Amino acid sequence: MTPVKDNLGGHRLALIATVGMVGALLLLAVGAWAYDNSQKDRIAPGVTIGGVDVGGMDVDEARRVIRDEVVAPLRQQVSVRFSDETYTLTPEQLNQRGDVAGMVDEAIEESREGGFVGRVGRYVAGGEVNSNIPAEVHYSKKAVRNFVETLAEEINRDPVNATVIPSGDSLNPQPGEKGIDLRNQEMTELITARIEQPLGPRTIEARVLRTDPEITRKELAEAYPTYVVIDRGGFQLRLFEHLKLAKTYTIAVGQAGLETPAGLYHVQDKQVNPYWYVPESDWAGDLAGTVVPPGPSNPLQARWIGIADGAGIHGTSDIGSLGTAASHGCVRMSIPEVIELYDRVPMGTPIYVL
């Protein structure tokens, strides 16, 4: 009978041990639940908001940190620099604000991911969540668009063709300038990124596209196959071909009070043996308003090269007037020379009167 007593004692001990183990497990579960419950308003390690580490913080502490380190920087201006100018988009224009409560609530939600067992396992192992909550930024997108449009108005410029500046006996080449076009879409994206990532730099170099002019300095000779310079003071007309002096002619120019107009003109009209449409001017006397046909009585001999309203280059039989200020505003040349010039200057040729 003794062995039966021993078996009963063994069963009792096993039962006691099992009950103890279950009790211990219950206590452990209750403790784990209590600890997990105590962490419901605390952010898990490894969680960041807008790049700011808020791991281990409770809700109130996280809100203070996010206000100071995420939202406060939003109240800074965004600047765009181009050349020596800086253009600024202010917080007031942007109407910037951050959803602090929403960002912290999302961080809490991320911290509670994985369920009870997963969280307890993370607590025991000292693991991290490793989640970055984007900064919840609210601002006026219209203000960004308007700012970029204003930038374009300030920065953009059309390309400037290379050109020449005449002097008395030469054409001085002047280089062109590249055009500038702001890359609106790229700038909008860069500015938006700076607004939404407040820890980044707040000044941006303008992104532009530089465009070549239609005529570069290398192309000037081709662009100006002919060019005429009229030197009133020296009574000289100089013909340039591909920017090189080709021929110099002695001329007469307008007398005092009826000066040949200065400035840049172009060949507008060409006629062989032109008619003279006499202007309604006192100096024309009885001929005012009449039309004089080609012939000896017509002062516009052989050729007419019109360069401005009523003014032009023509031949004259009064070669004694050449080298003086004797005309009524036109440029006079000897007949053989005006015929030669006429054949060498096509329509549109620049005529610069000094």
- Residue 206 gets which letter from DSSP? P
pLDDT for position 187: 97
Pairwise pLDDT comparison (118 vs 148), residue with the higher score = 148
Report field, pTM of the whole predicted structure over 0.75: no
Q: What is the pLDDT of residues 68-111, one digit of tens each?
A: 887 776 677 899 999 999 999 998 898 877 788 998 999 888 88
What pLDDT is recorded for position 247?
97
Q: What angle do CA 171, 338, 261 make, to 5 degrees?
A: 55
Closest CA to 224 of 168, 271, 162: 162
d(CA 337, CA 249) in angstroms, rounded, equals 7
Task: Average the pLDDT over 50-63 and give the result.
Answer: 90
The amino acid that residue 294 corresponds to is P
Query: From CA 349, how far away is CA 225, in angstroms rounded?
Result: 8
Of 37-46, 63-72, 153-162, 210-219, the least confident:
37-46
Domains along the chain with CATH numbers = 141-219 (no CATH), 224-353 (2.40.440.10)
Question: Which residues does residue 311 pair with via DSSP β-bridges, in sequence order?
Answer: 308
pLDDT tops 70 at residue 325: yes
Tokens of 130: 């490793």
